[in-house]
């Protein structure tokens, strides 16, 4: 049974955090504010934090439970981890774990988040929904997230030698909150903002066009998750995704296996292959 948390925010490091904050404000409609050394970008249902450091690296990934009681129940299930880092969007009730690649995963109670902002007046609703990581050791990361943190496996991508090339894990009924891709690099790959449907996808694409932010992949449809998507690229080269219609998994859904091929990652055409 999925743990019942949802992606709350990412904190990424960047050699140019102000430029990233500016880009996400322009492309994705965030309000960006500087808090100490952190650029906090927020709008209704979505948040990202940037602070100085190397490109493409995770400072932390934050998942939120609906309330402190649900967070405590999860702690009873998986252990109470370590203290969470001090950061603008993390309240007192929080705990964290570090995955085998050194990415810190923080769990918080959503009701401790008191700084909600209004929705962008001209853009369709879209919520922080999933992220993807590139890793040289997907088996170790998969084991950590499934066995230690109790994320549920939705689908795996295996090559002809049965080597794990990618996997998709969920924390609630949505097909994946976390995707892991085998790659020669250990780095952040992308985050996705899930919008409400095809009309909204079109409106987001029109918005990107008006802002001269080119679509670098898509529009397409992923095999695992069956979501329609397009991706743009931020000034550091991180991908940002707008998606819709991600599969809602029924209880007891059997994990699937997909071949390692472009068609798996985009049923409508070419794919960005991470290895
Ligand atoms: Fe995605």
Which of 7-11, 75-79, 84-88, 116-120 has the lowest average pLDDT?
116-120
Residue 92 CA to ligand 1 centre (angstroms): 30
CA dihedral 109, 113, 114, 120 (to 10 degrees): -140
The pLDDT tens digits of the residues spanning 136-195 come to 999 999 999 999 999 999 999 999 999 999 999 999 999 999 999 999 999 999 999 999
Closest by CA to 110, choosing from 77, 80, 74, 142, is 74
Least confident of 45-54, 117-126, 209-218: 117-126
Domain with CATH 3.10.180.10 in the chain: 6-112, 126-265
Has domain 6-112 been given CATH number 3.40.718.10? no
Give the three-state DSSP class for 206.
helix
pTM, full prediction: 0.96
Q: Which two tokens stand for residue 152?
A: 């549920």
Expressed in angstroms and rounded, the spacing between residue 152 Cα and the centre of ligand 1 is 17
Residue ranges near ligand 1 (ion) with Cβ within 5 Å: 192, 241
What architecture is domain 126-265? Roll (3.10)
Q: Which residues are bridge partners to 127 per DSSP?
A: 194
Ligand 1 mean position, distance from CA 246 (Å): 10
Q: Which residue has the tokens 């999860």?
A: 74
Residue 185 to residue 138: CA distance in whole angstroms? 11
**d(CA 216, ligand 1 centre) in Å:** 13
CA–centroid distance, residue 189 to ligand 1 (Å) = 9
């Amino acid at each position: 049974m999925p743990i019942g948390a949802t992606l709350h925010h990412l904190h990424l490091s960047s050699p140019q955090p102000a430029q990233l904050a500016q880009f996400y404000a322009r492309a994705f409609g965030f309000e960006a504010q500087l808090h100490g050394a952190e650029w906090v970008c927020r709008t209704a249902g979505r948040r990202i934090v940037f602070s100085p450091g190397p490109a493409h690296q995770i400072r932390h990934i934050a998942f939120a439970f609906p309330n402190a009681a649900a967070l405590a129940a999860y702690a009873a299930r998986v252990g109470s981890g370590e203290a969470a880092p001090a950061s603008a969007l993390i309240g007192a009730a929080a705990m964290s774990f570090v995955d085998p690649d050194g990415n810190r995963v923080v769990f918080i109670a959503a009701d401790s988040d008191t700084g909600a902002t209004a929705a962008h007046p001209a853009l369709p609703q879209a919520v922080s929904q999933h992220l993807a990581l590139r890793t040289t050791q997907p088996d170790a990361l998969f084991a950590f997230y499934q066995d230690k943190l109790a994320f549920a496996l939705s689908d795996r991508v295996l090559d002809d030698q049965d080597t794990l090339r990618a996997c998709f894990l969920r924390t609630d009924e949505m097909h994946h909150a976390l995707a892991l891709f085998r790659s020669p690099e250990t780095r952040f790959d992308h985050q996705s903002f899930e919008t409400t449907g095809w009309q909204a996808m079109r409106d987001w694409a029109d918005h990107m066009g008006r802002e001269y932010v080119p679509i670098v992949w898509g529009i397409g449809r992923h095999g695992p998750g069956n979501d329609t998507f397009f991706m743009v690229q931020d000034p550091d080269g991180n991908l940002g995704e707008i998606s819709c219609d991600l599969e809602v998994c029924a209880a007891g859904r059997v994990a699937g296996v997909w071949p390692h091929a472009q068609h798996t990652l985009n049923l409508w055409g070419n794919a960005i292959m991470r290895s």
